């Protein structure tokens, strides 16, 4: 049976790690290199690094930065932010990334997902889907670090993403981001039930029980979290021990 993964998310803005609420009010939370070294010791299954200003600033990924911290990262590394073409993907992989995470580029050019999958394998092509829920209950995709509404329903976009060869989906509720009040279990379950690829739950984890819900009730293949690890004493290894206690297959 495949192991369920616990994946810390590192959000990088300008020169430091940050964490916000609802993709806003970014708060500095420390050094990137220090965080990587800490997670090396805490049995993290995979690390997600997202440069949240690269696309907004119209720049490419910071390849030198990734090269520097990837040398200290002894776990699989997924990198996103500012990726615009296959040369960006190739260079990120060459400096230490194991996967790339695309969001804005994938939405406006879904064929780019296919290009990544065809060139480097579908396991390399991770698509991040950020969404908000409208007053009438629609779940709408947002791009550009959650700043631009697209008008497209999440479920419609999920079909496009899978059809174009994505290896995984990171599904993030913008409204729950940073609140630590739990994942959007209903949405995670709905998306997981309609695709054959892994769905990574993101946005809202505040306890190990939230992670368990995302897996048992939402059928997520992995749980991503940031605030819970930055602002509480809870750790990835303790999260996995908790999940293991409920019979969830994890790497211990």
* Cα 112 to Cα 166: distance, rounded to the nearest angstrom: 10
| pLDDT(199) > 80 | yes
> Strand pairing of 125-133 and 168-173?
parallel
The domains found in the chain, sorted by start residue, are: 5-245 (3.20.20.70)
Average pLDDT over residues 178-196: 97
| pLDDT(175) > 90 | yes
Average pLDDT over residues 10-39: 88
∠ Cα 231 71 178 (to 5°):
20
Q: Residue 193's pLDDT band (boundaries 50, 70, 90)? A: very high
More confident residue, 2 or 205: 205
Q: CB of 157 within 8 A of CB of 139?
A: no
| pLDDT(245) > 90 | yes
Q: CB of 126 within 8 A of CB of 102?
A: yes
pLDDT for residue 20: 84
pLDDT in tens, 62-100: 999 999 999 999 999 999 999 999 999 999 999 999 999
Average pLDDT over residues 14-26: 86
pLDDT in tens, 121-152: 999 999 999 999 999 999 999 999 999 999 99
Average pLDDT over the chain, rounded to an integer? 95
Q: Residue 14's pLDDT band (boundaries 50, 70, 90)? A: confident
pLDDT for residue 230: 86
Question: How many angstroms separate the Cα of 143 from the Cα of each of 45, 81, 107, 194, 242?
Answer: 27, 11, 8, 22, 34
CA distance between the termini of the chain = 14
∠ Cα 75 80 86 (to 5°):
105
Q: Residue 165's pLDDT band (boundaries 50, 70, 90)? A: very high
pLDDT for residue 155: 97
| pLDDT(104) > 70 | yes
Q: Residue 1's pLDDT band (boundaries 50, 70, 90)? A: low
Percent of all residues in the chain with a pLDDT value above 90, rounded to a whole number:
88
Q: Which residues contact 194 (CB under 8 A, 6 or more apart)?
A: 155, 158, 159
pLDDT for residue 42: 84
Please classify residue 58 by burial: count the beta carbons closer than 10 Å to its beta carbon, then call 0-12 exposed, 13-18 middle and 19+ buried.
exposed
pLDDT for residue 25: 65
pLDDT for residue 41: 87
């Amino acid at each position: 049976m495949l192991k369920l993964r616990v994946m810390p998310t590192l959000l990088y803005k300008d020169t430091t790690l940050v964490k916000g609420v609802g993709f806003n009010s970014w708060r500095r939370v420390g050094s990137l290199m220090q965080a990587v070294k800490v997670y090396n010791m805490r049995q993290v299954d995979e690390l997600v690094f997202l440069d949240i200003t690269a696309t907004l600033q119209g720049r490419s990924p910071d390849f030198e930065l990734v090269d520097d911290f990837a040398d200290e990262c002894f776990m699989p590394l997924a990198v996103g932010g500012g990726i615009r073409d296959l040369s960006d993907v190739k260079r990120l992989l060459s400096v230490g990334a194991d996967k790339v995470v695309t969001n804005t580029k994938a939405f406006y050019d879904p064929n780019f997902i296919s290009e990544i999958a065809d060139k480097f394998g579908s396991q390399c092509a991770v698509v991040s889907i950020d969404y908000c829920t409208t007053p009438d209950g629609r779940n709408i995709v947002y791009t550009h670090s959650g700043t631009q509404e697209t008008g497209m329903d999440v479920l419609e976009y999920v079909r496009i993403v899978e059809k174009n060869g994505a290896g995984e989906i990171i599904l993030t509720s913008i409204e729950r981001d940073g609140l630590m009040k739990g994942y959007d279990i209903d949405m995670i379950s709905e998306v997981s039930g309609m695709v054959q690829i892994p769905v990574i739950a993101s946005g809202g984890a505040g306890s190990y029980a939230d992670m368990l819900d995302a897996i048992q009730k939402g059928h997520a293949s992995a749980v991503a979290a940031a605030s819970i690890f930055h602002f509480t004493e809870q750790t990835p290894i303790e999260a996995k021990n908790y999940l293991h206690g409920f019979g969830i297959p994890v790497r211990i």
